[in-house]
């Protein structure tokens, strides 16, 4: 079973849910907008995927932060983790936990290669 992290009302999330369902893949959904996200999980993602992948700088949430807040978030990994916990919309969506690692963002071709093994 896969575990998918994100925010329910997001276009990329809906595409990911549809792709998983179409391919007959069971998944558990963690809505970090409602359920929050812990520092250990974020650290794991940052180690596996890198800050440039996990942090969504293209969204309005990032643009709404002041330059000082942005610089503070990028100064250290701990600052980034704290910022992501406070502003979960800054986390790239979706993040899919697979048996071989993590996939950030939705790419239909990548999802087509997934299997329940």
pLDDT at 23: 92
What pTM, to 2 d.p., does this model score?
0.92
- 104's enclosing H/E stretch is strand 101-104
pLDDT at 115: 80
**Residue 4 backbone dihedrals phi, psi, to 5 degrees:** -115, 135
> Where in the sequence is the domain holding 38, given as residue range(s)?
2-112
Q: Enumerate the active-site residues.
A: 10
Residue 56 lies in a domain: yes
- For the chain, the domain total comes to 1
Does residue 117 lie within any of the structural domains? no
CATH number at residue 79: 3.40.30.10
Domain assignment present for 95: yes
What pLDDT shows up at residue 47?
97
Q: What is the pLDDT of residues 53-97, one digit of tens each?
A: 999 999 999 999 999 999 999 999 999 999 999 999 999 999 999
For every residue of 69-85, DSSP letters joined together read HHHHHHH-HHHHHHHHH
Question: Above 90 in pLDDT, residue 116?
Answer: no
Cβ proximity of 100 and 7 under 8 Å: no
pLDDT at 69: 97
Does residue 63 lie within any of the structural domains? yes
């Amino acid at each position: 079973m896969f575990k998918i992290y994100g925010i329910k009302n997001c276009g990329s999330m809906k595409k990911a849910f549809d792709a998983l369902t179409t391919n007959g893949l069971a998944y558990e959904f963690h809505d970090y907008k409602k359920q929050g996200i812990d520092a250990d999980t974020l650290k794991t993602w940052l180690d596996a995927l890198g800050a440039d992948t996990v942090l969504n700088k293209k969204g309005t949430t990032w643009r709404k932060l002041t330059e000082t807040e942005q610089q503070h978030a990028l100064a250290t990994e701990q600052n980034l983790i704290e910022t992501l916990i406070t502003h979960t919309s800054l986390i790239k969506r979706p993040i899919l936990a697979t048996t071989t690692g993590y996939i950030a963002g939705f790419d239909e071709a990548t999802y087509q290669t997934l299997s329940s093994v």
